[in-house]
């Protein structure tokens, strides 16, 4: 299954020293982890909206539990608000609509 994953609204450091710790301790490791997930073909596509503090990507997972584990395994998980949306394939939805049309025609 594919899932649309969105992480937004992380906390911000309040001083230059906190910014360095935050960037080195969470943000950069989070980027590195996401790049590994891309190399491993778990993240199929996505990125960061320009000028925003957010991550949006599509992952491949066998089920909801695995999708949850993937997102919780990111260094940024504790600091961001996450939304994970299961995606239906276009082919699956097209088949459903074709069946619906048959039902409507049959009366």
Q: pLDDT digits over 29-72, tens only?
A: 999 999 999 999 999 999 999 989 899 999 999 999 999 999 99
Instruction: Check residue 107 and give its pLDDT.
Output: 84
**Tokens standing for residue 73:** 């395994």
Rounded distance between C-alpha atoms, residue 52 and residue 2, angstroms: 24
- Strand, coil or helix: what is 35? helix
Alpha-carbon span 6 to 56, nearest angstrom? 5
Q: pTM for this structure?
A: 0.85
Long-range contacts of the stretch 44-47 (C-beta < 8 A, 24+)? 44/2, 46/5
């Amino acid at each position: 299954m594919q899932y649309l994953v969105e992480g937004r609204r992380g906390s911000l450091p309040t001083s230059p020293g906190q910014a360095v710790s935050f960037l080195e301790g969470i943000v950069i490791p989070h980027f590195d982890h996401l790049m590994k997930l891309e190399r491993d073909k778990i993240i199929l596509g996505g990125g960061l909206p320009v000028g925003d503090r957010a991550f949006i990507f599509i992952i491949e997972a066998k089920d909801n539990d695995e999708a949850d584990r993937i997102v919780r395994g990111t260094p940024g998980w504790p600091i961001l608000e996450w939304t994970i949306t299961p995606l239906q394939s276009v082919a699956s939805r097209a088949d459903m609509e074709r069946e619906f049309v048959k039902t409507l025609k049959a009366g």
